[in-house]
């Protein structure tokens, strides 16, 4: 009973993406997943909008035994430049190259070595 999304929407989205990315066979599975995610988001946001509209009516809220509606908090993603980023990357790279004790196989070998 929900109106399907207009086909023109995907055309407009595709115009914003490089043709090199759209035609890459390596990225085709990712494109399929992203299109499904877009469609799921469309339907879930549409259903949420319908419920929000119905709950605007105080009589309907009373009929459904809903006392109050939780307040929505805006999603904010703020990432400022951090001065320690380059230090973190170099330390992580060093650990990946030199620290081998976190590998599960190395732990098993160590246990086997000391068990014998």
Residue 63 has a pLDDT of 92
Q: Where are the domains of the chain?
A: 1-70, 83-116
Query: Dihedral, CA atoms, 44, 46, 50, 52, nearest 10 degrees?
Result: 70
Q: Is the pTM of this model over 0.75?
A: no
pLDDT band at 68 (very low <50, low <70, confident <90, very high): confident
Where is 5: in which H helix or E strand? none
pLDDT band at 53 (very low <50, low <70, confident <90, very high): very high
Long-range contacts at 67-70 (CB < 8 A, ≥ 24 apart): none
Q: What is the mean pLDDT of residues 19-34?
A: 88
pLDDT at 41 over 70: yes
pLDDT band at 100 (very low <50, low <70, confident <90, very high): low
pLDDT at 39 over 70: yes
CA distance from start to end of the chain: 69
DSSP state letter for 102: T
Q: Is 35 helix (H, G, I), strand (E, B) or coil?
A: helix
Across the chain, what does the average pLDDT equal?
85
Contacting residues for 55 by C-beta, under 8 A, at least 6 apart: 61, 64, 66, 69
Residue 40 has a pLDDT of 92
DSSP state letter for 79: -
**How many C-beta neighbours within 10 Å does residue 43 have?**
13
Rg (the chain; Cα; Å): 26
Structure confidence by residue, pLDDT tens digits, 80-89: 777 888 898 9
More confident: 2 or 19:
19
């Amino acid at each position: 009973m929900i109106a399907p999304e207009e086909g023109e929407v995907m055309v407009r989205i595709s115009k914003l993406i490089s043709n090199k990315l759209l035609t890459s066979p390596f990225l085709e599975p990712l494109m399929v997943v992203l299109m499904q995610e877009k469609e799921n988001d469309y339907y879930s946001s549409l259903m949420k909008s319908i419920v929000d509209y119905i709950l605007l009516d105080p009589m309907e809220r009373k009929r459904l035994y809903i006392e109050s509606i939780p307040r929505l908090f805006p999603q904010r993603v703020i990432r400022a430049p951090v001065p320690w980023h380059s230090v973190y990357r170099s330390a992580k790279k060093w650990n990946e190259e030199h620290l081998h004790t976190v590998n599960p196989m190395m732990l098993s070998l160590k246990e086997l070595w000391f068990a014998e």
